Structure 1
Amino acid sequence: MDLERGQVIDLLPDRDAETVAGWLQAHPGIELVSRDRSATYAQAATQGAPEARQVADRWHLLKNLREAVERVLERHSAVVDAALKALVLLCQLRRDPLWHAPELTRQPPLGRFEPEPVAELAMDLRQRQPTPIRSRGKKPAAGAPGGRARASAATRARSHLPSTGGPSCSIR
């Protein structure tokens, strides 16, 4: 196919490397060979038109790009999922400004006439989850995302362990 003119030049009887290489040798002056990822066509182009430049065709370039993007998205799926969850929450906040997620703010119910806080969300890529930055001047409860860190399991367990004072029983 002549890519500049968009015309079919010839139809080969098969897809063998020898056939393609022979056709290329019979047509000197070919400067550019557009081909797929097949090793057969790479070998044929190298043998039949060694001076010609080999390039991927548009369809295979787009296919390669799609596969590369899919690999990146699979590798970073946790971050992508967290970003999508944050986007859903932000859309909900835009639709209903008084809406808030108790699981994010963990605040006690408000008084009858007190306005509900609007959680401002941000993506913390280290935690890979949406976290509230603040809620109209109110601090998040301890243990809530954006609040003080919860005590570790070891710290919570210390209060239940008897202290013998010996070095073998110390927990650090």
Structure 2
Amino acid sequence: MRPGELRQAKWEEFDLEAGMWEVPAERMKMRVPHLVPLSPQTLATLEQLRELTGNTELLFPGRSNIRKPISDNTWRQALHAMGYKVTAHGFRATASTLLNEMGYRADAIERQLSHGERNKVRAAYNRAEYLEERREMMNHWGGYLAALENGQKVVPIHHKKQQAS
């Protein structure tokens, strides 16, 4: 997700039993609602976060005003404090690159990133969500990140060969 979309996330948007986050159109760059399959690792993190902020509307409320989300600068400071020298948005590029290298289909990756179709004719006809493929992809991605976090040497396993377009 884009940093702003995540910063402004509300608990009411999450169906933790179904493992799905529905981001409303008004918060999306393309002004279209976006479904986000949640990995088991993400669901576990959300359960931990709920203990801290579950009594507020926002997942990430501001410290001085809980009705407003934390700022972009708060994200940057947290990342830098953890030793990351990237922007929050840079994680999207990293995920896209690695998921492509793992062999996931570009259509599913682009839909996960909520990118619009550049081909106007295709965009007019193709409204696929690729939810099952995206759920599998996010589960794999969550496991990949968990392995990295645990210090394991991770060799990406290619999902499957992409078909030539």
TM-score over 0.5 for the alignment? no
Larger Rg: 1
Structure ranking higher on relative contact order (CA contacts 8 Å, 6+ apart): 2
User: TM-score scaled by structure 2?
Assistant: 0.20
